[in-house]
A and B are shown apart, each in its own frame.
Chain A
Amino acid sequence: MNIVISTALLVLFPVLGYGAGKLIKAGKKMDRTLSILLDGLIYLLIFTMGIRLGSDKLLMGNIPVLGLRAAVITLFTCTGSVAAATAAAKIFERVQAKHDRHSDSAGGRDRSGQTDGI
């Protein structure tokens, strides 16, 4: 499939789903159904991916030769990205907390200022 079309569809489908979700008026039962459906489809997607990997003779044949090297690089790549993102998220949290405290105390000063004025 053309990469432009497939990318456009990747944007289109959640947008269509969002529209449908807004239009359909349903209760909590609907949320539960969507959750179960998504769970089932996640397993189906992973199962399908497994079939694709298992039937790929080139990939399976190269596992003994290149697999260890690829696996080690992946392990470190994943660890590096998760560690960096977790550290960055912590920094963002601290900055946000500082900002919130600052705006709270500023709000407090404003309020006290108003009280003094009254």
Chain B
Amino acid sequence: MIGILIALAAGIALGKLTGFDFGSSGSNVVYWLLYVMLFIVGMALARRKNAFRELGSKWIQALIMPFVTAIGSIAGATVAGMLLGMQLWQAAAVGSGQGWYTLSAVVLSQYDPLLGAVAFMSNIIREVLALLLIPVLATRISPWAGISIAGATAMDVTMPVISRYGGTQYSPIAFIGGVICSALVPVCILAIVWLAGV
């Protein structure tokens, strides 16, 4: 974790000092780096004998867990909203972003630009926090804890980290979890907005 923290801090410092702007190609650089990592994760998975058989009945769990993660995220955000004195629907909507900062920010800024900015920051922090904490959560609690903190990012950015620390056999589960969480993001946000009657 210390190594990850140092890498992140060094990157932020370099970005802040140099103002180095990746521009639109920035996301492409990150994505291509990610594709190489996912290729390696695939290779590592192939080299693990009985990787899919080891999972056994965990597939059912893999389909249910993203819903549990979404409920936990929204509940946690609602508690935070109470403490911060925010409107509860706003906090819940930010929490249901599950790390997908671009989508949650764009959708919520239609209702309130400031809320869109909070959603962007909160979900970016979630992605960074997931990268930092997955090594600890996946090894000390369970790989499921690592997958749940990753939320929607389990299908891409955090998947190699889950695979590395939770076990290669968890990478297909992380991917499925991330896909379902991603699909739940717009559904949850719009449901919360609808229920709040905004």
Q: Do A and B bind each other?
A: yes
| Contact call A47/B42, Cβ cutoff below 8 A | no
When C-beta atoms are compared, the residue in chain A nearest to B81 turns out to be A73
Interface of B, secondary structure class, is: helix
Contact surface of A with B, Cβ cutoff 8 Å = 1, 6, 9-10, 13-22, 24, 30-31, 34-35, 37-39, 41-57, 59-60, 62-63, 66-67, 69-86, 88-89, 92, 96
Is B164 touching A17 in the complex (CB atoms < 8 A)? no
CB-based nearest A residue for B96 = A77
Shortest beta-carbon contacts, A-B, top 9: A50-B11, A80-B76, A54-B15, A17-B42, A21-B46, A84-B72, A85-B148, A76-B80, A14-B42
By a CB distance below 8 angstroms, the chain B residues around A16 are 39, 42
A4 to B184, CA, bound (A): 17
Flag if B77 contacts A80 (CB, 8 Å). yes
> What distance in Å separates the Cβ of B159 from its nearest Cβ neighbour in chain A?
8
Complex alpha-carbon distance, A20 and B46, angstroms: 8
Q: Which one of B33, B73, B77 contacts A44 once the chains associate, using CB atoms below 8 Å? A: B33
Within 93-135 of B, Cβ neighbours of A (below 8 Å) are at 94-95, 98, 114, 117-118, 120-131, 133
Shortest C-beta distance, A25 to chain B (Å), equals 10
Q: Contact: A38 with B72, CB < 8 Å?
A: no
Interface contact B84-A14, CB-CB below 8 Å: no
Total number of residue pairs linking A and B with CB closer than 8 Å: 273
> In the complex, A47→B114 CA distance in Å?
28
Number of residues of chain B lying within 8 A (CB) of chain A: 97
Q: In the complex where A41-B37, A73-B80, A81-B69 touch, is A54 in contact with B46 (Cβ < 8 A)?
A: no
Query: Which of A19, A39, A72 has the most B CB atoms < 10 Å from its CB?
Result: A72
Q: Taking each of A31, A43, A66, A89, which has the highest tally of chain B beta carbons within 10 Å of its own beta carbon?
A: A89
Q: B72 to A20, Cβ gap below 8 A?
A: no
Residues of B close to A79: CB separation below 8 A: 76
Q: Is B144 an interface residue (CB 8 A)?
A: yes
Known interface pairs A51-B20, A75-B80; A69-B118 also in contact (CB < 8 Å):
yes
**Are the C-beta atoms of A86 and B21 separated by less than 8 Å?**
no
Check if A82 sits within 8 Å of B148, measured CB to CB. Answer: yes
A selection of 26 A-B contacts at a CB cut-off of 8 Å is: A9-B31, A13-B38, A13-B42, A14-B39, A14-B41, A17-B46, A18-B45, A19-B46, A20-B42, A38-B44, A43-B3, A50-B9, A50-B10, A52-B11, A52-B30, A54-B11, A55-B19, A62-B121, A74-B126, A76-B76, A76-B77, A81-B98, A82-B145, A82-B148, A84-B75, A85-B147
* B195 to A: closest C-beta gap in Å: 18
Given A1-B27, A45-B34, A51-B14, answer yes or no on A74-B129 (Cβ-Cβ < 8 Å). Answer: yes
- Apart from A42-B37, A84-B148, A86-B142: 8 A-B pairs, beta carbons within 8 A: A10-B34, A38-B163, A39-B164, A57-B19, A62-B117, A70-B94, A88-B64, A96-B57
Task: Say yes or no: A9 contacts B35, CB within 8 Å.
Answer: yes
Please classify the interface of chain A as helix (H, G, I), strand (E, B), loop, or mixed, using the class held by over half of its residues.
Answer: helix
